[in-house]
Structure 1
């Protein structure tokens, strides 16, 4: 299964495992998201790590043996090297309210090779906040400096304006995915330029993101920059 998923990610830009999360676990996570957004005045809220996720499945997913094995096997199938014995960098993003637009349509590369995305809730009206992926735009850089240059070239007003212009012109090189809550979406976040469409202010779009394997984790330059 992992080899087939890795091949699909590379050839198509993404892979999907339908209904990966059970209905009871999904409902509990959806209730958590609704309460969190409500408590924050209906505006965007995000959670890094697992410590504040209560009893939801998201609190234990990064240590789930089946999930860990799936991600490591996908990595090994694609990279051809043993998977690093590292954990996940996890984020739960809950877009809602007027601030949702600020967290949308910002094309970027992830710092980690594999990105696993699980939609918790998506809008049932208006703009559903599709995931937009420009698959496999770059190779894995040999150095952190090369990766940093890529990010500087992408994360500026001119580049973002050009990416958005091409996107709204209907560029056929971009995959636009409507997300289904509870399914698991996998793509090479490090290699693929990607973003999310905005959702309406009165809706909630919540996605869990688990990032695996930073190829520059041991970079001296990266460690020095983090200290400053």
Structure 2
């Protein structure tokens, strides 16, 4: 019997993450991988990212993001972590992220906090040979959920800059900082609080393919014009609204 949302939330609070093993079937994993291979073939072997339900329409990733049981799980985790109800119109925001080639190297050790309280990570392709497999690196629950949007913006400004990122990466490589390192297993679902936990991926060998599906839910600053204007660069770049949909003109 699968653990309850309360059990998952408790594990996230205690360990920084929780895992649902074999969350998707081997057949679903192959469907997801087929989509990744199709997309990767058009990107000249370099890094790419796909944002939002509409860009992923017709794929298993959009179907998962739109499924009621999946959204209910994410919403329950948000309630347990924040003590508040999510916005009624908020949707799960899916992202496909694929590291490959030299440009993929630039995406390593990019330490950041997510805009949403709940992050679900579904690995699709993960290297298993060599030293650099793109492990997930987490500093678990290093801050609380901030309902003050200005404070959140200031914290992100301090950490989401080149100098801070390089300092943290250097300290991790030297062993001065000791985060959690997760060896991801394709088909498992990893749940953690991306908002509270500083995280990044380790270096991935440019000759290898590392592909994951990410699902974000529970923006504490959903109604904040300040947060929307200063944060959420990925959605603006993809010309999406805060729910990952293309605005109707």
Residues 17 and 191, structure 2, Cα contact 8 Å, conserved in 1: yes
User: Which residue of structure 2 aligns with residue 9 of structure 1?
Assistant: 12
The match for 2:80 among 66, 77, 81 is: 77
| 1:59 and 2:62 matched | yes
Would the aligned equivalents of 2:171 and 2:177 in 1 still touch at CA under 8 Å? no
Pick from 18, 33, 36 the counterpart of residue 33 of structure 1: 36
Give the 4+ runs in structure 1 shifted more than 6 A: none
Matched, 1:203 2:208: yes
Equivalences for residues 128-207 of structure 1 within 5 A: 128-171=133-176, 173-207=178-212
State the secondary structure of the residue aligned to 2:99: strand
User: Structure 1 residue 46: deviation in Å?
Assistant: 1.1
Greater alpha carbon shift after TM alignment, 67-76 vs 189-198: 67-76
Q: Which segments of 5 or more consecutive residues in structure 2 lack a partner in the other structure?
A: 237-249
Q: Is the 8 A contact 2:53 2:93 kept in 1?
A: no
Paired with 1:31 and 1:151, the residues of 2 have a C-alpha distance of 36
Taking the aligned partners of 1:225 and 1:168, their CA distance within structure 2 comes to: 31
TM-score, normalised by the number of residues in structure 2:
0.85
Q: Runs of 5+ in structure 1 lacking a partner?
A: none
CA distance in 1, matches of 2:230, 2:174: 37
Kindly indicate whether the alpha-carbon contact (under 8 Å) linking 1:7 and 1:78 is maintained by their aligned counterparts in 2.
Answer: no
Assess, with a 3 A threshold, how the Cα gap between structure 1 residues 28 and 10 changes in structure 2: closer, same or farther. Answer: same
1:38-82 CA-partner distances (Å, limit 9, x unpaired): 211111111111334364311201111221121112222233333
Which is worse superposed, 208-217 or 67-76? 67-76
Contact 2:99/2:211 (<8 A) preserved:
yes
Structure 1 CA distance for aligned equivalents of residues 229 and 96 of structure 2: 28
Shift of 1:172: 5.9
Give the match for residue 121 of structure 1. 125
Deviates more, 1:151-160 or 1:7-16: 151-160
- 1:107 maps to which of 111, 121, 125: 111
Alignment: residue pair count: 227
Alignment CA distance shift 1:204-1:224 (3 Å):
closer
For the aligned residues, what is the CA RMSD? 1.8
Cα shift readout 1:119-162 (whole Å, capped 9, x = no counterpart): 11111322211000001111122311101101110022321122
TM-score (norm. length: structure 1): 0.93
Q: How far, CA to CA, are the matches of 1:23 and 1:224 in structure 2?
A: 41
